[in-house]
Amino acid sequence: MISPSTIDLVFETSRVEEVIGDFVQLKKAGSNFKGLSPFSDERSPSFMVSPVKQIWKDFSSGKGGNVVAFLMEHEHFTYPEAIKYLAKKYNIEIEETEQTNEQKEQQDERESLYLVSEFANKYFQNILHKTDQGKSIGLGYFKERGFTEETIKKFDLGYSLDEWQAFTDEALKQGYKLDFLEKTGLTIVKEEKRFDRFKGRVMFPIKSMSGRVLGFGGRILIADKKAAKYVNSPESIIYHKSNVLYGIYHAKQSIAKEDNCYLVEGYTDVIQFHQTGIKNVVSSSGTALTSEQIRLINRLTKNITVLFDGDAAGLRASLRGIDLILEQGMNVKVCTFPEGEDPDSFAKQNTLEELSVYLIENAKDFIQFKASVLYEESKHDPIKKAETIRDIVNSIAKIPDRIKKEIYIQECSKIMDISEEVLFSTLAQIDKKDFQESNKQFKTEQRAFEVIKHQPPVQKVDVQYVLERKIIEVLLLYGNKTEDFEDLALKENDKGQLVLEPVINTAKVFEKVFLDLQEDEMEFSNTQFKSLYYTIIDTLNQNPDFQLKNFINTVDIEMANEITTILMEDERYNLDDWERMHIFPKGKSHSIAQLVSETILSLRCFLIDQKVKEFQQKTIENKAQVNKSILEEVKDYSGLKMLLSRKLNRAL
């Protein structure tokens, strides 16, 4: 168990914009930050982070909450794991008791797979550094590759003994279940036999963006034609190859800072670049590049530079990946190395300055790259040249931005010595074909629409929902503030008429709201708001030092999500930096008392309307027996509503 004082310290120290900034590229938007949603595929940013309130809201998926809620949603952490992650990030000491074997078994399946993977990671490192076989074979290989001791430890490199079930036996001895060893792929089970998948291999742990071990890559060190050079962990509920990039954990901050990501092919390419000093580099781990992997980079930067060796077959394969990157609306460049060199060997032989200069000078725009790869094969063959040009235009067609498309068409025209008119015509044909293929269903719906030609009914606004929501917002933002409220007390004048006389009352906002609602016996109709209302009132009543960010940390995820929706909704469409345009809007905090009074009065008026309608309905249903007392009540309520409208200074 983690002590409450440690949890409080973690919340006080953590900054939501810093933590989320490790996973999502955030840009300043007024007093908040905006970015692309990490929970859905979007191109216009709807993900908002508030440093002032220490909350976040993703309007595309509806999720929101505090810093811990983000880690639980994004990284699938449990609550204690999220606290531990934050403690580690902010160098906070944390005490916890060691788990027993029984406790390990009680973890759910996903968590058990994480625990097994973490154990394996430490085991392989221990074998590498503390056994004779590990030192002579595994460590010897890494040193031969030019990796320093610091780099080896930074990337948690390890070694699996060249024995059939050394790892499996040790894991079982430590209390880990065979079922989970098999599901992670660390152990292969065949009937009664079981043996280590990575027997006799150097180990590369594959981590998530937050640093959790998802799986492994293992390289064999002996010449064996029957064995694959590299073996990866199989797919599991925690490891999906298409969603993972090797090195993303170590590279994420540099990618965001440099606003560029270098994409390589292998594990050692990443490590060697990192050791040389270029840290914004990741690898697709030997698999074909996927849309999910590109979206992972897209959260951090819009710019990718793909690095390939001089191998012709590899270059051709890279062309497919470029089109995928373009489809995501990203900017892509390609850099190739001299024949016989790859990113690993080239980085090893050059200094940081030499490598940086080479990358800058040799990174080509994707059109120049495609032209250089394909043009040599087709320059003396008109038919092949036409195919090459069409291939390049096909890539341009993948770009969603029309301005970029036009610029690239102009570039292609210069490089390939062909008129822009022909290229634009070809592009239009491709766009039309793609549109027809991908929008058949849309066209069918459009035809149906043309026949019916009617407008969908306008959704009716739920006034009570809006007002109840506004009351919750007021309590969250200003509940503990003391204000002077101008009330109108109902009094009978000399003629026996009800009139309103102004009275100034000083009170805390939450007390004013509570007493006004109690006085009129008003109840929340929305059950979630009702629960939230009483929770807030109770907290404000017991805690004079109420702070919004601390309150969010104490409620459950569902309630925290509702709170962030309420608090961030107004800011979603706010124009950033009004002052820069010499516009100085009046904020809510400048007229809190007025805001509170108007919201309560509006709710009162709405409920009066509902009551009058109820009486009118009774009158219609009982025409023969019109109750005089009902008519009197309708008259009184109507009179009260007129008085309230004077207070609100508007017709109701």
Q: If you write DSSP's letter for every residue of 449-475 in order, what string do you get?
A: HHHH--PPPPPPP-HHHHHHHHHHHHH
Q: What SS3 string covers 59-120? A: CCCCCEECHHHHHHHHCCCCHHHHHHHHHHHCCCCCCCCCCCHHHHHHCCHHHHHHHHHHHH
pLDDT at 449: 41
- CATH for 248-437 (3.20.20.150, 3.90.1570.10, 3.20.10.10, 3.40.1360.10): 3.40.1360.10
Segments of the chain assigned to CATH 3.40.1360.10 = 248-437
* Range 423-449 average pLDDT: 64
Cβ within 8 Å of residue 648, ≥6 positions away: 598, 601, 602, 605
Q: CA-to-CA distance for 144 and 190, rounded, in angstroms?
A: 36
pLDDT at 160 over 90: yes
Span 116-129, mean pLDDT? Answer: 97
How many CB atoms sit inside 10 A of residue 372's CB? 14
Average pLDDT of the chain is 82
Reduce the secondary structure of 201-257 to three states and give it as a string.
EEEEEEECCCCCEEEEEEEECCCCCCCCCEEECCCCCCCCHHHCCECHHHHHHHHHH
pLDDT of residue 615: 62
Q: What is the pLDDT of residues 170-213, one digit of tens each?
A: 999 999 999 999 999 999 999 889 999 999 999 999 999 888 99
Report the pLDDT averaged over residues 108-134. Answer: 93
Structure tokens at 614: 């109820």
Token pair recorded at residue 191: 């009937």
Over residues 442-492, the pLDDT tens digits come to: 454 444 444 444 455 555 667 888 888 888 888 888 888 888 887 666 667
**What is the predicted pLDDT for the residue at 371?**
77
How large is the C-alpha radius of gyration of the chain?
33
Which residues are paired to 639 by β-bridges?
Answer: none
* Amino acid, res. 574: N
Q: 218: closest CA among 265, 186, 173, 177?
A: 186
Instruction: Decide if pLDDT at 225 tops 80.
Output: no
What does the pLDDT read at residue 584?
46
Higher pLDDT pick, 316 / 115: 115
Joined together, the tokens standing for residue 248 give: 């993303």
Summarize the confidence of residues 396-421 as an average pLDDT: 87
pLDDT of res. 543: 80
Give yes or no for a contact between 343 and 309, defined as CB atoms under 8 angstroms apart. Answer: yes
Per-residue pLDDT at 450: 46
Structure confidence at residue 640 (pLDDT): 52
Residue 372 predicted with pLDDT over 70: yes
Report the pLDDT averaged over residues 296-304: 90
Taken as a whole, the chain contains a residue count of 652
Euclidean distance between CA atoms 103 and 118, whole angstroms: 16
> Higher pLDDT residue, 593 or 86?
86
Domain with CATH 3.90.580.10 in the chain: 4-89
| Token pair recorded at residue 626 | 């019109």
Cβ atoms within 10 Å, residue 186: 27
For residue 87, give the nearest of 2, 24, 20 by alpha carbon.
Answer: 2
Q: Tell me the mean pLDDT in the region 274-283.
A: 96
Q: Are 219 and 157 in contact (CB under 8 A)?
A: no
Q: Is the pLDDT of residue 581 over 50?
A: no
Across 568-591, average pLDDT = 56
Measured from the Cβ of residue 635, the count of other Cβ atoms closer than 10 Å reads 12
pLDDT band at 441 (very low <50, low <70, confident <90, very high): very low
Measured distance CA(198)–CA(177) in Å, rounded: 18
The pLDDT value given to residue 452: 41
Q: Which of 15-29, 287-301, 348-362, 420-434 has the lowest mean pLDDT?
A: 420-434
Least confident of 49-58, 325-334, 545-554, 626-635: 626-635
Share of the chain above pLDDT 90, in %: 30
HSE value, Cβ hemisphere, 13 Å, CA-based, for 371? 17
pLDDT in tens, 333-352: 999 898 888 999 999 999 99
Name the pTM for this structure.
0.69
Highest mean pLDDT of the ranges 36-45, 128-137, 401-410, 508-517: 128-137
* Angle, CA of 23, 25 and 28, to the nearest 5°: 130
Q: Residue 231: which of 185, 166, 293 has the closest Cα? A: 185
Query: From CA 422, how far away is CA 151, in angstroms rounded?
Result: 53
Structure confidence by residue, pLDDT tens digits, 64-87: 888 988 988 888 787 888 888 899
pLDDT band, residue 650 (cuts 50/70/90):
very low
According to CATH, the superfamily of the domain at 101-239 is DNA primase, catalytic core, N-terminal domain (3.90.980.10)
CATH dotted code for 4-89: 3.90.580.10
What SS3 state is found at 177? Answer: coil
